[in-house]
Structure 1
Amino acid sequence: MAADPKTTLRTYLDARREALISKVEDLSERDARLPRTPTGTNLLGIIKHVTGVEAVYLGATFGRPFPHPEELIPDARFETDPQADWYATEDETIGGIVDLYRRVIAHGNETIDALPLDAIGHVPHWGGEEVTLHQMLVHLFADLAGHGGQADILREGADGAVGWRRSGDNIPPEYDWPAYVAKLTALANRF
């Protein structure tokens, strides 16, 4: 049975959210925070970043600010540290950041439920640019899909866990990965 467009968007958005959260499950605080790229990208930082983004995109943008702004990063902190939303501080935990993200998600879902797709909002950090809820949901989905891809690669590098949402749920269950990598390496070396 075909779903209405808003339900379709929300279903795909919720799947991306859960996939992202799953990338820090069963990791130690150290492994979730450890920088895994030359620019410091880390799994918990990605979740912290999308938490703040969603709080704005599905909150303040549509005149429905997140009800607990004190739990989000204050704008002034970005003046001293423009990367403030990309890492967990010493007093933050995986559980705390995931809990906050789930509450931001619930607030955002209330916005989705309350407004029609053609509702107009203004994105504060885009200079007040006018957007519809539909545009914002598509933008947010694309943003989460990109960050989900980052998280997939970082998690595989952390402990070898692979898969769309849970380890192994969209990859061959029994596969000779070293032979596969050797095959691809030999192919690349021909060039």
Structure 2
Amino acid sequence: MIDDVAKECLHSDLREIREVLLWKLDGLDEYDIRRPLTRTGTNLLGLVKHLSLWESRYFGEVFGRPFPEPLPRWDDLGQRGADLWATEHETREEITGRYRRVWEHSDATIAALAIDSPGHVPWWPRPRVMLFNVLVHMLTETSRHAGHADILREQVDGSTGTAADYAAQQRDAAFWEARRDQIEQAATAAVKLGRTGPGHGG
């Protein structure tokens, strides 16, 4: 049986991980939050923009409670991928502010509905869902992108962690240089031992 305890646990975790994602932008200039940091262009502000769009859909139209600001249609192929980066005309404040408004709308939906309330996700193969399914999905999706943001932020300035208090306790650069060298040596040694192919059993 799925009950309100499960609902509150999932919702609490979602609220926490949202804040982590926004914290990853703190202290960075406009270029560093926007610039592509992977071969496919993944960037910090784009992750926030992407999550704001999809969370607004999942806790909005899926439950007949549309987010009150204009959104592109989910099946508009011309818009595919546009949510993953910010144009020069979109400000940090616009994107992060919209994400926070999405939270408010989502939180109102979650509070208003029972955990087994039905919804409809037209872009899923099995579109009939409950609030429980959508909470799990959005928690998973947000956590996945927060993990991306962890790596991107570390690439920019070496900052790691999930909150400002944690970041203040980081080890110094010499520790991480020594650890990286240790891991590099282990990787090189594994190759010399002949561990070169996938599925090598030992």
- TM-score normalised by L of structure 1: 0.90
Structure 1 counterpart of 2:43: 42
Unmatched runs of 5 consecutive residues or more in structure 2: 191-202
Unmatched runs of 5 consecutive residues or more in structure 1: none
For 2:85 and 2:111, how far apart are their aligned partners in 1?
Answer: 31
Higher Cα Rg: structure 1 or 2? Answer: 2
Calculate the aligned-residue CA RMSD, in Å. Answer: 2.1
- CA separation of 1:130 and 1:51: change in aligned 2, threshold 3 A: same
* Contact 2:159–2:167 (8 Å) recurs in 1: no
Instruction: Report deviation, 1:5.
Output: 1.9
Q: Which amino acid aligns with 2:99?
A: Y
For 1:140 and 1:76, how far apart are their aligned partners in 2?
Answer: 16
Instruction: Report deviation, 1:80.
Output: 2.6
For 2:74 and 2:57, how far apart are their aligned partners in 1?
Answer: 16
Structure 1 counterpart of 2:27: 26
For 2:185 and 2:179, how far apart are their aligned partners in 1?
Answer: 10
1:181 and 2:180 aligned: yes
* Contact 1:33–1:42 (8 Å) recurs in 2: yes
Instruction: Report deviation, 1:93.
Output: 1.3
For 1:188 and 1:171, how far apart are their aligned partners in 2?
Answer: 28
For 2:55 and 2:100, how far apart are their aligned partners in 1?
Answer: 11
Structure 1 counterpart of 2:155: 157
- What are the residue-to-residue correspondences of 1:111-122 with 2, within 5 Å? 111-122=109-120
For 2:105 and 2:183, how far apart are their aligned partners in 1?
Answer: 45
Percentage of identical aligned residues? 41
Instruction: Report deviation, 1:77.
Output: 9.6
Instruction: Report deviation, 1:68.
Output: 1.4
- CA separation of 1:128 and 1:52: change in aligned 2, threshold 3 A: farther
